Amino acid sequence: MLVRLPSSAESFASRSRRLKPPRKCNEALFFPAQSLKLTSTKELEGRMPMWRWLICGVLGLGLGVGSALAVSGGLFSDAKLVSGRWSTDPTVGAAAANPWLRATIARVGLLALTKEETVYFNRDVDDDGAKLVEGCTYALSGEAIPTRWWSITIYGADQMLPVNTDAASSIDATRALIAPATTWTGTLSPTRPTTPGPWLSSKGGGTYSLTIRLYNPQSVEKSALQALKLPSVKKVSCTQTPASGGVN
C-alpha cells in the first residue's frame, strides 16, 4: 500500500496548526509574525498592563537622571591622585577615561589634551582646607617643577574665567620663575597687590578653583605625580569669612 507523504506546503500548514498563539502582549512584541497586528499606540496601551508602562517609565527616567548626575560629577567619583592640596584624575587625557568624564570635558571645554602632553591638577581650597573665596587674599609660593612648562589659571564655579578687567586670570613659569631663581612667590587676591611678583585676580570669582597645567612632564607615573611639590596657597587675610570643608 502506498502512503502519500505530505508536500512541503502541507507540512508547513500542519506544523503551523500546532503553534500556539502568544499568551501575553510582550510575546506579541517580540514575535510579531505570530501575533495580531497592532495598528496604533492607543491599541498597544490597551493591551499592555499599566504597571509595565510604569516600570519602563521609571527605568528610563532613572537612566536619564543617572547619566546627567554622572556628567555633572554628582554620581560617580573616580579615584583621585593627590599631591598636597592639589588633585587630579589619572584617567584624564587617557584612553581609559569613562564616557561621563569625556562628556564633562566636552561640555566645559577643559582638560582636553592627552595625558602625555599635559597633566592637570585642581584645587578649590587653601593650605588649611578652607574654600577659596573672592574676599580673601592668599600668598602663592612654589619651586621648579620637572616639566617643560606650567601655568596656573583661576576658574569660577561655572568653570569660566572670572569676569573682570584685570587681565590677570593666569600666571606661568615664564613670569613666575625667572632664572637663576629656583623658587617664586606671588599673590592671589581681588585687588592688585603693592608687592612685586605674579598676581592672580580673584575679582568676580566668588567661590573659585585653581587649575595648574603641567606641559610635557618628565613622568606621568602615579608615584612621580604624587611626589611633585606643587605651589602652596596660604591665606593671608579676608574681608569675608571663607567656607570650610572644601573638596580635594
Whether the model clears a pTM of 0.75, i.e. scores above it, the answer is no
Kindly report, residue by residue over 102-145, the tens digit of the pLDDT: 444 444 445 556 666 889 999 999 999 999 999 999 999 999 99
- Greater pLDDT, 122 or 63: 122
3-state secondary structure of 140: strand
- Give the count of beta carbons closer than 10 Å to the beta carbon of residue 112: 13
Kindly report, residue by residue over 164-173, the tens digit of the pLDDT: 999 999 999 9
Are the C-beta atoms of 241 and 144 separated by less than 8 Å? no
Are the C-beta atoms of 203 and 162 separated by less than 8 Å? yes
Q: Tell me whether residue 183 is exposed, middle or buried, using C-beta atoms within 10 angstroms of its C-beta: 0 to 12, 13 to 18, 19 or more.
A: exposed
pLDDT score, position 81: 85
Q: Is the pLDDT of residue 149 over 80?
A: yes
- Confidence band of 72 (pLDDT split at 50, 70, 90): very low
Query: Hey, which residues does 119 pair with through a beta bridge?
Result: 214
Please tell me the distance from the alpha carbon of residue 224 to that of residue 10, in angstroms, as a whole number: 77
Q: Is the pLDDT of residue 70 over 80?
A: no
Q: Is the pLDDT of residue 184 over 70?
A: yes
Kindly report, residue by residue over 190-215, the tens digit of the pLDDT: 999 998 899 999 999 999 999 999 99
